[in-house]
Amino acid sequence: MASLSVAATATAAAAAAATPLLPSVTTSASATRLSYRSSLSPSSLRSSPLLSRLFLPQKSSLGRFSSRRIGYSTAPPPKCSASDPEQLKSAREDMKELLKTKYCHPIMVRLGWHDAGTYNKNIEEWPQRGGANGSLRFEVELNHGANAGLVNALKLLQPIKEKYSNVTYADLFQLASATAIEEAGGPKIPMKYGRVDVSGPEQCPEEGRLPDAGPPSPASHLRDVFYRMGLNDKEIVALSGAHTLGRSRPDRSGWGKPETKYTKDGPGAPGGQSWTVQWLKFDNSYFKDIKERRDEDLLVLPTDAVLFEDPSFKVYAEKYAEDQDAFFKDYAEAHAKLSNVGAKFDPPEGLSLDDSPRKGQPEKFVAANYSTGKRELSDAMKQKIRAEYQAVGGSPDKPLQSNYFLNIMIVIAVLAYLTSLVMN
């Protein structure tokens, strides 16, 4: 896929292949659909009854998923929201550790994008409209040509999902994608969470909503796909910049070289062809390398090349090649938008995982901001002091230069002296 697909790292594929829970299967190449494929082809997924029984969630006679099928918990979602915020935060930390050991940044970005990239703005109903709803966990959607190999990403996330059962699949996929970008050196993505999952495979979108790599008219094809999601030319080019991560293998996708000087030593299983020299680092080198095209060991797909050929795309591609800060800003906004469109949130406004105070929450009173004294005050006294302090031009952020209590005492002393004079 042009902008929604990033190559899975060899380490991720090797990790999935090493587990005994999946049968040993062979892969097949496709010359028409870009899916930067990992270890399992669509045909082998369809022909694997063991995969259907052990990995993918199936409805039992009781209408529930079996707890023995790996990665999918039977625990009900929390009542307060689709996902538990504290579990999301903990899952994010576990995700960071997974990235450090498995180098699976590219496949996690791809997983999140492929779950979200099915959105159709012309369909109002959820979940028919697609978007990030966790549907990619079902076999029927994993069998789509563009999703070959993403079963490896699901397997890598399995322990995290089992550990944090009150995190939805939709949130987990998007959390993994955004965290992978940030941990690779990319921008902070302004994410929100609380996405609701689809309940069964009958709610998966039809195949064909994700982009190809080598369509006859790359620019038109990209616009057809991304405009359908409500994205514009700037966002198409910005999202394409995520190809700075990952590599493609010809035996899995039909694209790229078997090996280059940049991929022969890994990390992970060696091989494949990357778009950039440092293919686990998120920066703007993708645009620089596509523009120059001086290195035959770096991959350039038709949907990459068109970014500097189409007049509208070229404006942004040139800008990002020169200005990494501009690329990071636009990319972060586009990534967040892609992960939100089509999703259904509970609560409707979503959940934020940042540490900033909630809106409307009163600021914490710190006595040191009002006085050099260390004595703790009662709540009533704090409120009185705050009101009087602000009345004379002070605030917690800008304390008065002199000691407030000393000033009060001086005023009282002066008043007492004047009173005594009057009385005398």
Question: How buried is 61 (Cβ within 10 angstroms: 0-12 exposed, 13-18 middle, 19+ buried)?
Answer: exposed
Q: Which residues contact 413 (CB under 8 A, 6 or more apart)?
A: none
Question: How buried is 324 (Cβ within 10 angstroms: 0-12 exposed, 13-18 middle, 19+ buried)?
Answer: middle
* DSSP labels, 371-419: -S--PPPPHHHHHHHHHHHHHTT--SSS--SS-HHHHHHHHHHHHHHHH
And the tokens for 190?
């302004």
Hey, what amino acid is at 216?
P
Residue 247, helix vs strand vs coil? strand
* Separation of alpha carbons 262 and 278, rounded Å: 8
* Separation of alpha carbons 174 and 190, rounded Å: 12
Catalytic, 105? Answer: no
* Separation of alpha carbons 424 and 411, rounded Å: 20
Whole-number Cα distances in Å, 423 to 412, 416, 418: 16, 10, 9
DSSP 166: T
Q: ∠ at Cα 129 (126, 131), nearest 5°?
A: 95
> Of the residues 105, 114, 144, 335, which is catalytic?
114
Q: ∠ at Cα 53 (50, 57), nearest 5°?
A: 135
Return the exposure string of 358-395: e unless at least 16 CB atoms fall within 10 Å of the residue's CB, then b: eeeeeeeeeeebbbeeeeeeeeeeeeebbeebeeeebe
Query: Nearest-CA neighbor of 90 among 6, 187, 209, 179?
Result: 179
Query: Nearest-CA neighbor of 38 among 16, 53, 71?
Result: 16
Q: Decide: 88 and 200 in contact? Cβ < 8 Å.
A: no
On the CB side of 377, CA atoms within 13 Å amount to: 19
* Separation of alpha carbons 382 and 286, rounded Å: 56
Question: Which residues participate in catalysis according to the annotation?
Answer: 114
